[in-house]
Amino acid sequence: MGSSLLSGDAKEAFRICLVQMRCSADSEENIAAAKGALAASSANDVDLCVLPELFSNRYVGQFADIEDRKGGLPDHKMLLAEFREASKASDVAVALPYAEAVDAKRSYNSLALIDKDGAVRASYRKIHIPDAEGYREDLYFESGDLGYVVARLGDVNVGLGICWDQWFPEVSRSLALGGAELLIYPSAIGSELIQPGFDSRPEWELVMRAQAIMNRVFIAAVNRVGQEERIDFYGGSFVADPWGEVIRRASTASPEIVFADLDLSRIRDARSFFGFLDTRQPRTYGALTNERR
């Protein structure tokens, strides 16, 4: 994996590491790569290391055969225990995505925020479940039942989202209202089986930049990269600042570890000069919570 340069001014900043991975069919390889990234993060004084959605395996949504559901998914309790240990050993917090099989009938696409002491600070279960060809997560996962989760990590409030959630302004707004300063979106997005020539990456990035602006928060999206069985994942993991500027972006072709220093004072500056949260009119937003006809 390559590695981006750190910015010169690291003082008072929160340092994150985006681990853009090529995910092998061998989950042991993926777990080893993630641990390697944790070790590199440790050597670079990273505060939070973010892994891609469901990083331990090939992306399950591309397989429309529900019989594959159990095949190859590692036991999530073992995975969690392993990374709690690794997190403590490396003294780096980690955002760990995993498939959570609650029982034989019920699974979630989940994310644990493990602090650098190995404690699980918060857990989130993905709420927005895609159902398009190639991304048939509806065959595998229920919509999450834990609501939107914001957790304190050191001096920073981190809001948790996963992939398809990133397209919904309701998610980023709910997390910002919950006090989040940094939103993280582990992702798995690439080519579209229905329109092979279509590249969603420009709008994928643009939509999250806009959400960073509208909420005046940092947003980090961490994608997988490379060809798997049916999908060619496009990488392009990035961090946007509260003005919607992309301050770091990974390659669209290769695995890469990207470090970024977040100056959290930029949130206060942006909100006091050109913010939006104070002039919202919640009394008028009732239509948003209505179930559709």
Helix (H) or strand (E) holding 176: helix 169-177
Of 105-113, 227-235, 253-261, 270-278, which part binds its own copies (CB under 8 A)? Answer: 270-278
| Cβ-based neighbours of 173, under 8 Å, separated by 6 or more | 214, 215
Fill in the per-residue mask, 131 to 170: x = in contact with its own copies (CB under 8 A), - = not in contact.
Answer: xx----------x---xx---------------x--xxxx
> Can 70 be counted among the known catalytic residues?
no
Of 60-68, 94-102, 122-130, 153-161, which part binds its own copies (CB under 8 A)? Answer: 122-130
Structure-derived torsion over alpha carbons of residues 86, 87, 92, 97, reported in degrees to the nearest 10: 110
> Can 17 be counted among the known catalytic residues?
no
Identify which of 16, 7, 24, 12 has the alpha carbon closest to the alpha carbon of residue 40.
16
Q: Do 44 and 180 form a contact (C-beta atoms < 8 A)? A: no
Among 5, 78, 104, 287, binds its own copies (CB under 8 A): 287
Among 4, 13, 244, 271, binds its own copies (CB under 8 A): 244
38/220 with CB nearer its own copies: 220
Identify which of 154, 150, 147 has the alpha carbon closest to the alpha carbon of residue 128.
147
By CB under 8 A, the residues from 191 to 210 that bind its own copies are 192, 194-195, 198, 200, 203, 206-207, 209-210
226-261: b or e for each residue (b if 16 or more CB lie within 10 Å)? bebebbebbbbbbbbbbebeebbbbbbeebbbbbbb
Of 64-72, 83-91, 100-108, 172-180, which part binds its own copies (CB under 8 A)? Answer: 172-180
The reply on whether position 177 binds its own copies by CB under 8 A is yes
> How far apart, in whole angstroms, are the C-alpha atoms of residue 148 and residue 126?
9
> How far apart, in whole angstroms, are the C-alpha atoms of residue 84 and residue 226?
28
Q: Closest separation between CB of residue 182 and its own copies, Å?
A: 18
Three-state secondary-structure class, residue 61: helix
Of 14-22, 62-70, 91-99, 271-279, which part binds its own copies (CB under 8 A)? Answer: 271-279
Exactly one of 17, 53, 116, 256 is catalytic; name it. Answer: 53
Phi, psi of 94 (to 5 degrees): -140, 140
Q: Closest separation between CB of residue 15 and its own copies, Å?
A: 26
Exactly one of 17, 35, 100, 126 is catalytic; name it. Answer: 126
CA angle, residues 17, 30, 85, in degrees to nearest 5: 65
The reply on whether position 77 binds its own copies by CB under 8 A is no
Return residues touching its own copies (CB under 8 A). 127-132, 143, 147-148, 164, 167-170, 173-174, 177-178, 192, 194-195, 198, 200, 203, 206-207, 209-211, 213-214, 243-244, 273-274, 276-277, 279-292
Any idea which residues carry the catalytic annotation? Answer: 53, 126, 163
